[in-house]
A and B are shown apart, each in its own frame.
Chain A
């Protein structure tokens, strides 16, 4: 219905869009401009250098190592989150005393700020007085150099990430499980299908739309994740956990290579875009309605 006071809508739209453009699109545009310039700091006068920053960054071994580390980190942590979240959700979907309470508890890690998780994990794995260290020692194991050695640091960072972000998968899959009609399971049981067959032929196909979206969202976030790795290892030791977000941060804010940092950030966004498009090709999102 058209009415004479539609100006309200236009005013809403104009005001909202102006702010969104200023808050979201201007920074991204500015990032691309920065990546084409050479500047020694944020206050010095920049000089236009074309694609020189990109050429320089792409020629460095550090960039490719960071890209590889990023794929290992996000790949491992996504697979573990999804497997664990799927398992947790299937247990929490069963009836047992205290079900509501345990469902609530299973969400708690996801509420925590990353910094709280990083500090708590560092305290628990403290070399002398950490509870995990002490318990392992009682079993005759360890000490494990969680964040100190290149080979263990990546695994430790993945472990902390999985603990923190699995609940998102659990919640989404649990909602998906509750949407599966029970009649499907009854029919399968009548046909003599065992527990595994029911899981494989009913549960997984029915969860497919949920899982497709969950994996996509988790992949985007894990690929861009900066804070947990920075807090736990700062990309070390010896660059073993340095991925593209950390490389971009170090370039721009500790080496004051603003152009290089902006170029790394832009490249990492391009890689992510390509990966997401590949994902859509492999797993098209089904329109439900």
Chain B
């Protein structure tokens, strides 16, 4: 009997140890990024210590006062919120129409959305850039918003298609029998019920746009139009290894995502299991 018990205990200790390893593996680079950002810059270039300190906000002050970081933060916010808004409106419209009506070529539409998942980024980025140059909107935030929507729209339609399909038609029909118009029943019945799906789409559209580097690299060249990922990556060459500022910038890009995860993790996990991804 005591043999069984001690094997159990050993097993539990093993699980606990493995969990610690997983936590350390996942957390350490993030810990080191944040610790480095709050360390006095001159202390970064001595023998590093695992323990935080000496504490200093100097890296953040330099980042926000000397570089284009605040402008780029604003650019990222403008682009991401536009992408979220456009994606929600359009994917709700398409997904609703496709599920509620005998649309010819319905499977083709959904199939195309899935196929778009597979497009290599350069297969879209090269021609888009060519089109934007012709239209005269290359190197602008509008160009980047359109480019991001090529990623988020297929995803949004796919997620909401699953959502609307599962919602019983009877609800809207009851509303229409009671005298609601189609638009009225959509706005008063369907939209409120599909709010969780819409939040999931919003979360992923924001994630994709906020974290995108490849499209922004192709579309944007002037410093004042850059979004955060491209802006911070170009600091590597411009500053000669100002790791304090770079880690401060990296922490500030990650902060909104961590905040979002804390409050909306349910929608994030739900989206992942429904086939939504970010990279």
Which residues in A have some Cβ–Cβ distance to B below 8 Å? 1, 3, 5-6, 8-10, 12-13, 15-17, 19-20, 23-31, 33-34, 42-43, 88, 91-92, 94, 96-99, 101-102, 104-124, 126, 128-131, 134, 163-165, 167-168, 171-172, 175, 213, 217, 220-221, 223-227, 230-231, 244-245, 248-249, 252-253, 258, 261-262, 264-266, 268-269, 272-273, 276
Contact = CB atoms under 8 A, between A and B. Distances in A.
B33 to A, nearest CB: 5
B142 interface: no
Interface in B22-55: 22-23, 25-27, 29-30, 32-33, 36, 44-48, 50
A224 B215 CA distance: 13
A16 B90 contact: yes
B18 A91 contact: yes
Interface in B125-176: 125-131, 133, 138, 146, 149-150, 153-154, 157, 169, 173, 176
A258 B48 contact: no
13 contacts: A9-B100, A15-B93, A20-B113, A23-B146, A28-B119, A28-B123, A28-B127, A92-B19, A96-B19, A111-B254, A115-B213, A120-B247, A244-B120
B121 interface: yes
Contacts of B121: 224, 226, 245
Given A28-B127, A43-B133, A129-B45, A94 B150 contact: no
B131 A220 contact: no
B213 A126 contact: no
A16 B32 contact: no
B57 interface: no
Nearest to B250: A116
Contacts of A134: 47-48
Nearest to B273: A175
Nearest to B20: A102
Nearest to A253: B218
Given A6-B182, A24-B119, 15 more contacts: A8-B183, A16-B97, A28-B127, A31-B124, A97-B16, A104-B265, A108-B261, A111-B261, A115-B211, A220-B117, A224-B121, A225-B279, A226-B214, A268-B123, A276-B118
A17 B94 CA distance: 7
Which 3 A-B pairs have CB atoms at the shortest separation, nearest pair first? A16-B94, A113-B211, A13-B97
B97 A269 contact: no
Nearest to B279: A221
Interface of B: 12, 15-16, 18-19, 22-23, 25-27, 29-30, 32-33, 36, 44-48, 50, 90-91, 93-94, 96-98, 100-101, 103, 109, 112-113, 116-131, 133, 138, 146, 149-150, 153-154, 157, 169, 173, 176, 181-183, 186, 207, 210-211, 213-214, 217-218, 228-230, 232-233, 236, 241, 243, 246-247, 250, 253-254, 257-258, 261, 265, 268-269, 272-273, 275, 277-279
Contacts, number: 284
Main secondary structure of the interface of A (DSSP, over half): helix
Given A19-B90, A116-B33, A221-B277, A27 B254 contact: no
Contact of A163 (B12, B29, B33, B45): B29
B61 to A, nearest CB: 19
Contact of A124 (B29, B97, B116, B149): B29
B109, B119, B128, B261: most-surrounded residue (chain A CB, <10 A): B119
Contact of B153 (A24, A245, A272): A24
B274 to A, nearest CB: 11
Contacts of A114: 211, 213, 229, 279
A43 B138 CA distance: 12
A65 B278 CA distance: 28
A24 B150 contact: yes
A108 B250 CA distance: 14
Contacts of B253: 113, 115-116
A131 B122 contact: no
Contacts of A220: 117-118
Nearest to A31: B127
A12, A30, A108, A269: most-surrounded residue (chain B CB, <10 A): A12
B131 A30 contact: yes
A131 to B, nearest CB: 5
B186 A262 contact: no
A40 B85 CA distance: 37
A116 B254 contact: yes
A259 B16 CA distance: 56
B193 to A, nearest CB: 17
B90 A15 contact: yes
Nearest to B233: A115
B243 A123 contact: yes
Contacts of A124: 29, 32
Nearest to B131: A30
Contact of B258 (A26, A111, A266): A111
A213 B236 CA distance: 38
A31 B126 contact: yes
A112 B257 contact: yes
